[in-house]
Amino acid sequence: MLYDIRMTIRYQYPSHATAGRYLLRLMPAVLPGVQRVIAGSLTVSPEPVEQLAGRDFFGNETVEVALGEPHWESRFSIAARVERRRISDLLDVSPRPEDLARDIAAHATLDASAPHHFLGPSTRVQPTPEMTAFGREAASGSATVYEIIRSLAEKIHDEFAFDPSATEVDTPVLEAFEARHGVCQDFSHVMIGCLRGLGIPAGYVSGFLRTIPPEGQPRLEGADAMHAWVRAWCGHQMGWVEYDPTNAVEVARDHVVIATGRDYSDVAPIQGVMRSAGMQSTGQSVDVIPLD
Amino acid sequence: MSEAPEADRRDPVARFLKDYRPPAGVPDELIGADGSVRPVWAGFIKRLASMTPERLASRMAHGDQYLRDAGVYYRRYGPQDTGQRDWPLSHCPLLVAEEDWSEIAAGLTERADLLERICADLYGANRLVEQGHLPASLIAQSPEWLRPLVGVTPRSGHFLHFVAFDIGRGPDGKWWVLSDRTQAPSGAGFALENRIATQRVYSDVFAAANVTRLAGFFRAFRDTMTGMLEEGEDRVGILTPGPLNETYFEHAYIARYLGFALLQGEDLTMHDGRAMVRTIEGLRPISVLWRRLDAAWADPLELNEGSQLGTPGLLRAIRDGRLTMVNALGAGILETRALMAFLPRLSQLLDGQPLRIPNIATWWCGQPSERAHVRSNAEMMMISPAQATGLAHETAAMASAEAEDIAAWIEREGPSLVGQERIHLSTAPAFVDGTLVPRPMSLRVYLARTASGWRAMPGGYARIGMTAEANDLAMQEGGRVADVWIIGRTTEPAETMQPAYSGAISRAPLAPLPSRAADNLFWLGRYVERAEHLVRVLRALHARLAETEAPDAPLLRRTAKYLDSFGCDMDQPVPEALVEAISAAFGSAGHVGDRFSVDGALALGDLTRTAEEFALRVEAGDDAARAMSVLLRKLSGFGGLVHDNMYRFSGWRFISLGRAMERASTMCACLAVFADAAAPEGALDLAVEVGDSLVTHHRRYAVATSRATVVDLLALDALNPRAVLCQFDHIEAHLAKLPGTGRHRPMSPLTRAVLRARTDLALQTPETLDSAALRRLEDEIREMSDQLTLAYLT
Summarised one tens digit per residue, pLDDT across range A143-174 is 999 999 999 999 999 999 988 887 777 788 89
- Looking at the fold, whether B331 and B405 belong to one and the same domain comes out as no
Query: Contact at 8 Å (CB) between A109 and B129?
Result: yes
Residues of A in contact with B131 (CB under 8 A): 108
- Looking at the fold, whether B392 and B302 belong to one and the same domain comes out as no
Exposed, middle or buried by CB within 10 Å (0-12, 13-18, 19+), for A124?
buried
CA end-to-end distance (rounded Å), chain B: 74
How far is it, in rounded angstroms, from Cα B410 to Cα B369? 12
Judged by CB atoms closer than 8 Å, whether chains meet at A271 and B147 is answered as no
Phi, psi of B508 (to 5 degrees): -65, 140
pLDDT of res. B728: 95
Closest CA–CA distance from residue B147 to any residue of chain A (Å)? 6
Sign of the four-CA dihedral B741, B747, B748, B753: positive
- Of A254 and A228, the one with more pLDDT: A228
Residue B17, in any domain of the structure: no
ipTM reported for the complex, 2 dp: 0.93
CATH number of A2-85+269-290: 2.60.40.2250
> Closest Cα partner for B513 from B742, B793, B748?
B793
CATH topology (fold) of A97-267: C8orf32 fold (3.10.620)
- Looking at the fold, whether B149 and B256 belong to one and the same domain comes out as yes
Least confident residue range of A62-66, A195-199, B445-449, B585-589:
B585-589
Please, which residues have CB within 8 angstroms of residue B189's CB and are 6 or more apart in sequence?
A: B250, B251, B253, B254, B257
pLDDT of res. B295: 95
Question: Residue B415: closest CA among chain A residues belongs to which residue?
Answer: A120
**Tens of pLDDT along B372-422?**
999 888 888 888 889 888 665 544 445 444 546 788 888 888 888 999 888
Residue B49, in any domain of the structure: no
How far is it, in rounded angstroms, from Cα B281 to Cα B514? 8
- Looking at the fold, whether B266 and B330 belong to one and the same domain comes out as yes
Mean pLDDT of the B330-345 span: 96
Mean pLDDT of the A76-99 span: 89
Residue positions counted in chain A: 292
pLDDT of res. B4: 46
In the structure, what pLDDT confidence band is assigned to residue B95 with cuts at 50, 70 and 90? Answer: very high
Judged by CB atoms closer than 8 Å, whether chains meet at A275 and B300 is answered as yes
In the structure, what pLDDT confidence band is assigned to residue B2 with cuts at 50, 70 and 90? Answer: very low
Name the residue among B136, B313, B416 with its Cβ closest to that of A64.
B313
Ordered strands of the A71-84 beta sheet: A35-45, A71-84, A2-17, A281-290
Query: Contact at 8 Å (CB) between B270 and B263?
Result: no
In the structure, what pLDDT confidence band is assigned to residue B245 with cuts at 50, 70 and 90? Answer: confident
Judged by CB atoms closer than 8 Å, whether chains meet at B305 and A50 is answered as no
pLDDT of res. B81: 47
pLDDT of res. B397: 45
How far is it, in rounded angstroms, from Cα B120 to Cα B115? 9
- Of A175 and A13, the one with more pLDDT: A175
Residues of B in contact with A274 (CB under 8 A): 300, 305-306
Residue B58, in any domain of the structure: no
Judged by CB atoms closer than 8 Å, whether chains meet at A21 and B150 is answered as no
| DSSP 8-state code for residue B675 | S
- Of B252 and B74, the one with more pLDDT: B252
Question: Residue B413: closest CA among chain A residues belongs to which residue?
Answer: A120
> Closest Cα partner for B784 from B757, B766, B764?
B757
pLDDT of res. B744: 61
Query: Which secondary-structure segment (H or E) carries A56?
Result: none
pLDDT of res. A90: 78
How does the average pLDDT of chain B come out, rounded? 88
Judged by CB atoms closer than 8 Å, whether chains meet at A109 and B148 is answered as no
- Looking at the fold, whether B213 and B325 belong to one and the same domain comes out as yes
- Looking at the fold, whether B540 and B599 belong to one and the same domain comes out as yes
- Looking at the fold, whether B290 and B378 belong to one and the same domain comes out as no
- Of B182 and B187, the one with more pLDDT: B182
How far is it, in rounded angstroms, from Cα B126 to Cα B750? 56
Judged by CB atoms closer than 8 Å, whether chains meet at A108 and B136 is answered as yes
How far is it, in rounded angstroms, from Cα A20 to Cα B262? 24
Judged by CB atoms closer than 8 Å, whether chains meet at A57 and B312 is answered as no
Query: Contact at 8 Å (CB) between A179 and A172?
Result: no
Query: Contact at 8 Å (CB) between B356 and B111?
Result: yes
Judged by CB atoms closer than 8 Å, whether chains meet at B312 and A265 is answered as no
Strands B381-385 and B417-421: antiparallel
Give the number of other Cβ atoms within 10 Å of residue B471's Cβ.
20
Name the residue among B148, B269, B316 with its Cβ closest to that of A52.
B316
Judged by CB atoms closer than 8 Å, whether chains meet at B300 and A109 is answered as no
Name the residue among B136, B272, B306 with its Cβ closest to that of A50.
B272
Judged by CB atoms closer than 8 Å, whether chains meet at A108 and B130 is answered as yes
pLDDT of res. B472: 47
Residues pairing with B169 in the sheet:
B175
Closest CA–CA distance from residue A115 to any residue of chain B (Å)? 9
Residue B343, in any domain of the structure: no
Closest CA–CA distance from residue A49 to any residue of chain B (Å)? 9
Residue B793, in any domain of the structure: yes
Across B170-187, b (16+ Cβ under 10 Å) vs e yields: beeeebbbbbbbbbbbbb
Name the residue among A66, A110, A268 with its Cβ closest to that of B129.
A110
Judged by CB atoms closer than 8 Å, whether chains meet at B301 and A109 is answered as no
Residue positions counted in chain B: 794
Closest CA–CA distance from residue B120 to any residue of chain A (Å)? 14
Closest CA–CA distance from residue A58 to any residue of chain B (Å)? 9
Please, which residues have CB within 8 angstroms of residue B439's CB and are 6 or more apart in sequence?
A: B427, B428, B429, B430, B432, B464, B465, B466, B467, B468
Residue B20, in any domain of the structure: no
Judged by CB atoms closer than 8 Å, whether chains meet at A109 and B130 is answered as yes
Query: Which secondary-structure segment (H or E) carries B445?
Result: strand B435-450
- Is there a cis peptide before residue B440, judged by omega within 30 degrees of 0? no
User: Which residues from B are below 8 Å from A when comparing CB atoms?
Assistant: 126, 129-132, 136-137, 139-141, 147-148, 150, 269-270, 272-273, 300-302, 305-306, 308, 312-313, 316, 416, 794
- Looking at the fold, whether B275 and B407 belong to one and the same domain comes out as no
How far is it, in rounded angstroms, from Cα B647 to Cα B641? 11
Is B5 a residue whose pLDDT tops 60? no
Judged by CB atoms closer than 8 Å, whether chains meet at A57 and B148 is answered as yes
Question: Residue B122: closest CA among chain A residues belongs to which residue?
Answer: A110
pLDDT of res. B699: 85
Is B474 a residue whose pLDDT tops 60? no
Judged by CB atoms closer than 8 Å, whether chains meet at A64 and B148 is answered as no
Is B355 a residue whose pLDDT tops 60? yes
Judged by CB atoms closer than 8 Å, whether chains meet at A52 and B301 is answered as no
Residue B772, in any domain of the structure: yes
Mean pLDDT of the B45-67 span: 88
- Looking at the fold, whether B121 and B186 belong to one and the same domain comes out as yes
Judged by CB atoms closer than 8 Å, whether chains meet at B270 and A265 is answered as no
Residues of B in contact with A268 (CB under 8 A): 305
- Looking at the fold, whether B706 and B591 belong to one and the same domain comes out as no
Domain boundary among B605, B620, B646: B646
In the structure, what pLDDT confidence band is assigned to residue B121 with cuts at 50, 70 and 90? Answer: very high
The total number of structural domains that make up chain B: 4
Residues of B in contact with A110 (CB under 8 A): 126, 129, 136, 139-140, 150
User: Which residues from A are below 8 Å from B when comparing CB atoms?
Assistant: 18-19, 21-23, 50, 52, 54, 56-58, 64, 66, 104-105, 107-110, 114, 116-117, 119-120, 123, 265, 268, 271-272, 274-275
Query: Contact at 8 Å (CB) between A11 and A280?
Result: yes
Closest CA–CA distance from residue B368 to any residue of chain A (Å)? 12
Which candidate in B131, B299, B305 is best for mutational testing of the A interface (most A CBs within 10 A)?
A: B305
Closest CA–CA distance from residue B316 to any residue of chain A (Å)? 10
Residues pairing with B16 in the sheet:
none
Judged by CB atoms closer than 8 Å, whether chains meet at A108 and B140 is answered as no
Closest CA–CA distance from residue A3 to any residue of chain B (Å)? 30
Please, which residues have CB within 8 angstroms of residue A33's CB and are 6 or more apart in sequence?
A: A85
pLDDT of res. B403: 45
DSSP per residue over A167-232, as a string? --TT--HHHHHHHTEE-HHHHHHHHHHHHHHTT--EEEEEEEE-SSPPTTSPPPTTTTS-EEEEEE
How far is it, in rounded angstroms, from Cα B413 to Cα B416? 6
Q: Which domain holds residue B626?
A: 515-646
* DSSP-H helix ranges across B259-305: none
**What crossing angle do the helices spanning B683-690 and B650-674 adopt, rounded to 10°?**
170
Cβ-based contacts under 8 A for chains A and B: 75
Closest CA–CA distance from residue B449 to any residue of chain A (Å)? 30
CA distances from residue B326 to A140, B67, B160, B294, B429 in whole angstroms, order as listed = 51, 28, 7, 11, 35
The domain limits of chain A are 2-85+269-290, 97-267
Residues of A in contact with B308 (CB under 8 A): 275
**CA triplet B269, B275, B281: central angle to 5 degrees?**
65
- Looking at the fold, whether B390 and B402 belong to one and the same domain comes out as yes
Mean pLDDT of the B581-604 span: 82
Mean pLDDT of the B452-462 span: 94
- Looking at the fold, whether B595 and B523 belong to one and the same domain comes out as yes
How far is it, in rounded angstroms, from Cα B748 to Cα B419? 66
Which candidate in A18, A116, A271 is best for mutational testing of the B interface (most B CBs within 10 A)?
A: A116
Please, which residues have CB within 8 angstroms of residue B379's CB and are 6 or more apart in sequence?
A: none
Measure CA B679 to chain center: 49
pLDDT of res. A201: 97
Is A195 a residue whose pLDDT tops 80? yes
| DSSP 8-state code for residue A99 | G
Closest CA–CA distance from residue B318 to any residue of chain A (Å)? 14
CA end-to-end distance (rounded Å), chain A: 6
pLDDT of res. B497: 64
Is A262 a residue whose pLDDT tops 90? yes
How far is it, in rounded angstroms, from Cα A160 to Cα A194? 14
Ordered strands of the B362-364 beta sheet: B362-364, B417-421, B381-385
Name the residue among B147, B272, B306 with its Cβ closest to that of A57.
B147
In the structure, what pLDDT confidence band is assigned to residue B79 with cuts at 50, 70 and 90? Answer: very low
Mean pLDDT of the B38-45 span: 93
How far is it, in rounded angstroms, from Cα B661 to Cα B522? 10
